[in-house]
Structure 1
């Protein structure tokens, strides 16, 4: 499956959350990562994030695409992060 992950976490936890996410996905832009991930690794990612975030203050959103066949990414402005993966 292909995942787009977007997070908004407290300043103290940003580095930890980014480090966890980069083990599984490609950093695209501030607080945004994407990539192909297996169901097992997706479960691991969520478990690791659950240990770090404060569910009363932080937000992590997963957009799950079963296929990227009908998807397209368009961007404007400066490029941040990786360009090798795209939807």
Structure 2
């Protein structure tokens, strides 16, 4: 499955959340990562993030697509880091 993760967390947790996400996904731009994951990898990522965030103040959103080919990206401006699946 192709997963896009966007997060909005307190500044004191940004580095930790990014580090966790980068173990599984490709960093695309500030607070946005994406890539192919197995269901087991997605569960591990979600569990790690649940422990890292403040669930009363932070938000992590997952967009789950069946495969990368159904995602279409349109970028205005510079491309910071494009995942190889959608280049």
**Structure 2-normalised TM-score?**
0.92
Superposed displacement of residue 6, structure 1: 0.3
Instruction: Give 3-state SS (helix, strand or coil) of 1:50's partner.
Output: helix
Residue aligning to 2:29: 29
Superposed displacement of residue 79, structure 1: 1.5
Instruction: Indicate the structure with greater helix content.
Output: 2
In the alignment of these two chains, the number of paired residues is 87
Instruction: Give 3-state SS (helix, strand or coil) of 1:35's partner.
Output: strand
Q: Structure 2: which 5+ residue stretches go unaligned?
A: none
Residue aligning to 1:80: 80
* C-alpha separation in 2, matches of 1:71 and 1:51: 29
Could you list the runs of 4 or more consecutive aligned residues of structure 1 that deviate by over 4 angstroms after TM superposition? Answer: none
**Structure 1-normalised TM-score?**
0.92
8 A Cα contact 1:26 1:85, kept in partner: no
Q: Does 1:46 align with 2:46?
A: yes
Q: Structure 1: which 5+ residue stretches go unaligned?
A: none
User: What RMSD in Å do the two structures reach over aligned CA positions?
Assistant: 1.4
The 3 A distance-change label for structure 1 pair 49 and 62 is same
